[in-house]
Structures are given as C-alpha cells and as structure tokens.
A and B are shown apart, each in its own frame.
Chain A
Amino acid sequence: MASGSALDIHVRQVTKSYGAIVVLDRVDLDVRPGEFLTLLGPSGSGKTTLLMVLAGFTRPDSGSILFGEREVIRLAPHKRDLGMVFQNYALFPHMDVATNIGFPLRLRGVNSADIAKRVEAALEMVQLGGYGTRGVHELSGGQRQRVALARALVFEPRIILMDEPLSALDKQLRELMQLELRRLHEKLGTTTIYVTHDQREALTMSDRIAVINNGKVAQLDTPQHIYSKPKSRFVAEFIGESTFLNVTVTDGVCRYHDQVIKADGAPVQNGPCLLMIRPEQVLILDSAAQEGMNCFSGRIASRVFQGDTVRLEVQLSRGDAITLRIAANSAGLAAVPSDSETITLGLPIADTTLLLEEV
C-alpha cells in the first residue's frame, strides 16, 4: 500500500471541559510523520477524549489541531481522512467482511473491480485472505480485530488512530497482535496514534509515549526514557514498579538521612526529593560496599515466588523498605541470603534517579 507521505500532527492548547470537569487542559502534542505514538494514562485521564478530538467526534472548547499544514479543528469527521480502529471494532453487523472493508472505498467512488482487488489485498495484509464472504458474527474476537484494522487501512489514510484496540482480546492473542501491529506500522510507515492504559503494551509498541494525567501530557519521550528517567512520581509509578525513598538535597548534595547519594544526570534543586529505585536495578552485594554504587543495608522482610522472578522486600535499618527482583533460576535462587542475615544492596550510580517531590 503506497500511502502518501506520512503526516505530522500538531496539537496546540486544546482544551475540553464538561461543566466544571476539565478533561483536556491546554494540551500540546507534536507527532512526527510516520511515528507510532502512544497515549498512555489511567482511565479518566483524558487520553480517549484527546483521540476523539483528533477524530472529530468530540468538539473541543478551544485550541488548534494541524494535520501537516492543515487546520482541522472545525473539520467534520468524515472529511478528516483518518483511519480509526475502535475499541469494540465497530464493524457493521449488517454487512459481510468484504462489504465492511469496501465501505470507505465505495464512499470514495472507487469502481467495483478495484474495490474487490483492494479489499482482497487488505485481507491478505491482515492474514485473513478468503474471509470476504463471512458474516461479522462468524468471526472470533481476533479476526474482528483484523477486519477492523483492514477497514481502517484500506483507503490508505495518512493518519491512523487506535482506541485500545486490543483490550478485548486475551493475553496471548494481545501479545501476538501487538507484534503484528508493530510489523504493519513498520511496513506502511503511517503516522499512528494509539491509546492504551496498558503500560507494557505502550512500552512494546511505541516509538514515543505520551503519558497523560489529569488532562495534561505528563511526559512525552521514548519508552526507554519514560521508564528509566521519569520526570515525576506519577510517571514512575504508572510505568513499572518502583520504591521511593525520601531524600534531601542541600547545596547540590543529595542525602538519605546522613548517607550521601551519588547520582549522575540533571542536578536537582535544593529541598526534599525522591530517590526512585526499580526492583531490577538493585543488586545484592557480597562485600560491605562497592565503588560506583549507592549502598543500603537491611534484612529480607518477605519473599514471594512469581514464576520468572522472586520478589524480595528488604527492610532497611532506617525503616524504609526496598523491593527487588531476582531471576528465579538456580543461580539466582542460591544467591538469596537467609532472612536473618544483614545484607547489602547496591544501586549503580548510573541507574540512580532523583525526582522532584510533587506538591
């Protein structure tokens, strides 16, 4: 499918409120051409509203939206030329698969021979070749998902929107479809905006992730940066698991009680801060202390076997607890000390992340 050059999207100061509830609060968002960008956030954060504003189904109160150079904020949905995959697929129940997929082509006045050809090609693309005459009701969830995808792609839109398209599928199928969507995106290179509340899905699929909270973009960055360098406690907590220790910065030096915490990266302003610790970043050290590490000592308070890892909770002498994970292989299990021992934990300086305490 030779779609035209991919479009960039610019969202400027878009605001939407229902009565006193502000759903979108002066949102700015720039999507690069050909990018796979995920809007990630808890339910009620405004991510779906933002998508609906982009699709034209929800009229915002103010702001500007550019598709490429073109202002579209007042444009009717049917003139926006976007492909959209709905959460419940929204396949027309009174049409068979081929008629569903051919729907946008018929509206565009494509002749029937070309429609048949392009519908079959679209079905091949989503690996449903020969399913054209099936009724929508004869399809499984995963197949409906693919038909919805084929219908959104068949008219070669330059932007594709997806609203939690995989949320109704079971885990295995979801993971399969994630990879397939990724593969399709790489092949077509269409600008894609994807809404999900599943952080793992967002990390797997996206070029960049926009974490949305309370109608605002909390952070927009690559999956790696969102995970390892979150800008706020909200982002750190929403994506991945983490422990936070209260630390204080005075004169550019960070201290956990009287222990100096070394961190590279951006200097944090003076005052109370948070030290973020991801469970897989922490190591159990043999000796008391090591170079290049921030070290903590404590005792194991609990251990939970979770299949691929063992989750340990270590009670520090200061009263806080740090959660860490150890691979559940024989070497890893053998290395876990007994509960009574005092152990030393090391957090590599490279992994040490300080966050501003949120007001």
Chain B
Amino acid sequence: MQRTPPTLPLSDDHSVALRKDQSAERWLMLSLAGPALLLVLVCMLLPVGWLFYLSFFTEDGAASLVNYRNLIEQPSYARIFRTTFEVSLLTTAICALVGYPLAYFLSQLPTRIANLCMIAVLLPFWTSLLVRTYAWLILLQRTGLINTWGIDLGLWSEPLPLVHNMTGTLIGMVHIMLPFVVLPLYNSMRTIDRSLIQAAANLGASPVQGFWRVFFPLSLPGLMAGSLVAFILCLGVYVTPAVLGGGKVIMVSSRIALDIDTFLNWGSASALGVVLLLLTFLLLLLASRLTKGLSLLGSGH
C-alpha cells in the first residue's frame, strides 16, 4: 500500500530571511575592500581634489584662471608638454620593438626555463629606481664605461654624447619601462593555443605567414595593454629625465617640481598636474576606443 505524504501548507517560505542573508553576505564582501577604499579616499581623491582647487588661485591667493592662461600663453609650457609626450611615445615604441621579440622568445620556451628567464626580466624591478638611473649615468657619461671601451676598441674616436640629452633619457626610460611591456605581452602570448599555429602551417602558411596572420593579431591585445601601461607611467616619470636629461629634457614632472621647490607657486604646479591628468584620461579613452576597434576587426579573444 502506498501513501502520498500530505501536502502541508507552507507557513513560512523563508524568502525574507534568505534575501537578508544574501545582502549580509554582500556587505561582508564589500567590507573587505574597506581599508583600501579609505586609503584611496585619503591619499588619492582628497589631494587630487585639493590640487584641482589650488589651481584656480594665484600666488597671492586670489581666485583666477591665470594659471591656465599661462599654460596656453607661455610657449615654454607647450614645449614641456611636447617633450613629455615625445619622450613617452618614443620610450613606449622602443619598448614595444625591443619587448616583442623578447616576449616571443620567452613564450616559445618550456615553461620552467621561461620562468627562469623571466627573473632576469624582472630583476630591474627589484632594484631602486634611483640606483639604476645613476648606474646608467656612470655607464653613459663622457668618461664612462661605454665611451672608454668604444674608444679603446677603436669603434669611435670622440666620446659620444650618450647622456645629459634625449638619448640618455630614452635609454634609461626604456630600461625602466621594458618589464611593463614584456609582462602582459608574454602572458597574452602564452595563452595563444599552439595548435592554432600548427593549423596555420597545416593549411599552407609558411612560418612567416603563420606569424603575421595568426600569432601577431592574437598577441595585439597584450601589446596594447603593455604599451598603455608603459606610456602612462612615462608621462609621470621624474627621476630619470632629471638625472639623465641633464636639464635638456624637461618633462611636466620636472617643471612641477621646479614650480614648487623654487618658485613656491602651488597654483601653477597644480594647473600643470590637472592638465596632465586630463590629457592622460583623454588618451586612455582614445586607446580604449582604438582597442575596441581592433577587437571589432577581430583581435578579441
């Protein structure tokens, strides 16, 4: 004999309690981000807001747009911005050109060996920026290692102007920025399925054709990501151009330091900072549009 269990009327379907549990869980997760959010608020948003506020006052404390007018009217500022973007663009381009083959080489190695090689790429990260920059100064100066050896070996007779100029700045900057390009590039190359390259070969693509038609397009997102990070970091670099540029390569950050240290002109320095921030945002926006366009073309994974 079979008996069906009686259907009990449901006095409480627990929906209210379940919803409460869900929201409690969400708040708990959010609270984990609390300390970091607080830090961002105190150390980032407040100072930046203060900076923004300061930029609208003259040295005497009167509210005006004079700081911004100066930026437009004084040709020295335009030159500084041009130098900043020039150095950043060149550094990024050289990093991409040097980093791409390196990342490609690493991505083709067995993982264990690649990890070892990666340590060599990351080594600069573990050394102080200042130490590295002064090391370059020693290597590159007129009586430095490179010039001495070059002349001793008879490669060139006069000391080459390798430092206190654009060349020196770029050498130092590329050295610093290279890992930022190589790391994301390497990671994106690692995720490219090897069988895709095999498939290309199987369908008749020579190694060169396979690289350009399959591997390169698939590595573009990594290249874009790395270049973007390097470029934005370049915009704010202070130490390297100051030391290796020898006063000839004046970037926005150097000018900000000058305004504050020498002229105590907080308003002018703030205006520079604000404009640089806005330009960076604009570029990021442009770059994200560009990458989206690229992925529409079919590079997206």
Contacts and interface: CB of A to CB of B under 8 A. Distances in A.
Is B a genuine binding partner of A? yes
Interface of A: 55-57, 76-78, 80-84, 86-88, 90-96, 99, 103-104, 107-108, 135, 151, 155
Interface in B213-240: 213-214, 217-218
A84 B300 CA distance: 25
Contacts of B214: 92, 94
A93 to B, nearest CB: 6
A86 B198 contact: yes
B203 A104 contact: yes
Interface in B184-220: 193, 195-196, 198-207, 209-210, 213-214, 217-218
Contacts of B75: none
A268 to B, nearest CB: 45
Contact of A94 (B195, B207, B300): B300
B196 A92 contact: yes
Contacts of B300: 93-94
Q: Looking at chain A's contact residues, is the secondary structure mostly helix, strand, loop, or mixed?
A: loop
Contacts of A87: 195
Contact of A103 (B198, B200, B206, B217): B200
Given A88-B193, A94-B300, A78 B218 contact: no
Contacts of A95: 298
Nearest to B294: A94
Interface string B1-39: 000000000000000000000000000000000000000
A77 to B, nearest CB: 4
Given A83-B202, A91-B199, A155-B203, 7 more contacts: A57-B198, A78-B203, A78-B206, A86-B199, A96-B298, A107-B204, A135-B298
Contacts of A78: 200-207, 209-210
A84 B299 CA distance: 24
Contact of B199 (A81, A90, A108, A135): A90
A77 B198 contact: yes
Interface string B55-76: 0000000000000000000000
Contacts of B217: 94
B195 A90 contact: yes
A90 B201 contact: no
B201 A77 contact: yes
30 contacts: A55-B202, A57-B198, A76-B206, A77-B198, A78-B202, A78-B203, A78-B205, A78-B209, A80-B202, A83-B202, A84-B199, A87-B195, A88-B193, A90-B193, A90-B195, A90-B196, A90-B198, A90-B199, A92-B199, A92-B200, A93-B196, A93-B301, A94-B217, A94-B218, A94-B299, A103-B200, A103-B203, A103-B205, A103-B213, A104-B203
A108 B206 CA distance: 11
* Closest 5 pairs (CB-CB, A-B): A90-B199, A104-B203, A77-B201, A94-B298, A90-B195
